[in-house]
Amino acid sequence: MRSGAHRVVVTGIGLITPVAVGTEENWSGLLDGRSGLGRITHFDPTEHVVQIAGEVTGFDPVEWVGGRKNARKMDRFIHFAMAATRLAFRDAGLEYPVADPERTGVIIGVGMGGLGTIEEAAEVLRTKGPKRLSPFMLPRLLANLAPGQVSIMIGSHGPNWCPVSACATGAHGVGEAARLISHGDLDVAVAGGSEATITPLGVGGFAAMKALSTRNDDPQGASRPFDRERDGFVAAEGSGVLILESESHARARGARILAEIVGYGQSADAYHITQPDPEGQGAQSAMRRALKNAGLDPADVDYVNAHGTSTPINDKTESLAIETLFGDHARELWISSTKSMTGHMLGAAGAVEAGICALAISRGAVPPTINQTTPDPDCRLDYVPNTAREGRVDVALSNSFGFGGTNVSLVLRRYPG
């Protein structure tokens, strides 16, 4: 990142998604084109218009947060953040309590906070009165308790905060953490996003906006980014955490370096509360700023992990933005939306997808966009349809665009060392 004196590298990745719990398990599942979407089991969805989602299965929070008593004090999004952090530490070869607490920070974003806790507390208030509310209600639901609990777990005393920017949240978490390292404020950052909004209120609210796919009879085929038959996104839960370090810190401890974060760009559409600018100006601006920050040209990019939500307007607009910014090189890009398999993890999505970009660089492969069956004349690029692709990726760009017109692009590059 050219804005600071210190290079920023990725040394660990922790992924928890509907596809799998665990980074290696997610990577193999994504390359296999495995969908993690299904009928909702967290609550009875019978009366809901939308009855499908991306739920994390096979996850027992007790195993990750220090026992059943601790688990009861936290909402599910905090469970995910702590588990993804533990996975990322393990992947990076780091231990906690951290060696230098003052030079270690935690920036984990959360898009919506503890909706499940809010719903439960509202029912207690309605049926039993205010005296029966739990003293842990607020610490369970506050978004910043994801990084707060992580900082307690690892013993870090550096910056500890929670970006909240809808679907761009996780990317903001990674970008801001990288900036802190780049400017010399930290040596190590735990960066990412987390979300757990598969609740009656969360699913019902997005359905009321007509934002979700209604393919209840075909959940694994419901998320189909850039396909002509797409009809909305599939809400999902999960967490992505990256361990970021200054290059000098990583090299001093002999760390394995997966990729380097070299660019971070942000913009605003200033157009509509939920819809993107139809000309893709905001998306173009975020990508252009990220590439300028990286000191790279559009022609240097090999792979784009698209925001690609599977909504009619978003996919058309993002595709147009990529075509416009990249020009002739747009036809050479490999582009995929892993939301076709994970669903849309909202505040966690950008961090998970940044991790996928680092893996694409380090492993030499790109996950597919599944459910690509009907070409859309408005989406004319190479979306790596249905089958993963092997090949060298030197530069990857990850897009995350959120309600309110907030846009983030991250650029990751192969580490030359």
Which residues carry out catalysis?
Answer: 167, 307, 344
Q: What's the rounded Cα separation, in Å, for the pair 111 and 113?
A: 6
Tokens of 394: 């030197």
Tokens of 364: 């030499």
| Burial class of residue 165 in the structure, from the number of CB atoms within 10 Å of its CB (0-12 exposed, 13-18 middle, 19+ buried) | buried
* CB distance 29 to 36 below 8 Å: yes
Q: What's the rounded Cα separation, in Å, for the pair 279 and 416?
A: 36
Q: What's the rounded Cα separation, in Å, for the pair 334 and 302?
A: 6
* CB distance 332 to 304 below 8 Å: no
Task: Tell me the angle at which helices 312-326 and 281-294 cross, rounded to the nearest 10 degrees.
Answer: 50
Q: What angle do CA 237, 164, 338 make, to 5 degrees?
A: 40
- Parallel/antiparallel/unpaired status of strands 259-268 and 8-16: antiparallel
CA proximity to 267, closest of 249, 284, 245: 284
Q: What is the DSSP string of 317-380?
A: HHHHHHHHHHGGGGGG-EEE-THHHH-B-GGGHHHHHHHHHHHHHHHTEE--B----S-BTTB-
Residue 100's identity, in one-letter code, is: D
CA proximity to 345, closest of 234, 258, 225: 234
Residue 178 CB neighbours (<10 A):
32
Q: What is the helix (H) or strand (E) element at residue 174, kind and residue range?
A: helix 169-182
Residue 367 CB neighbours (<10 A):
28
Q: What is the CA radius of gyration of the chain?
A: 20
Tokens of 82: 């702590």
Q: What's the rounded Cα separation, in Å, for the pair 151 and 145?
A: 9
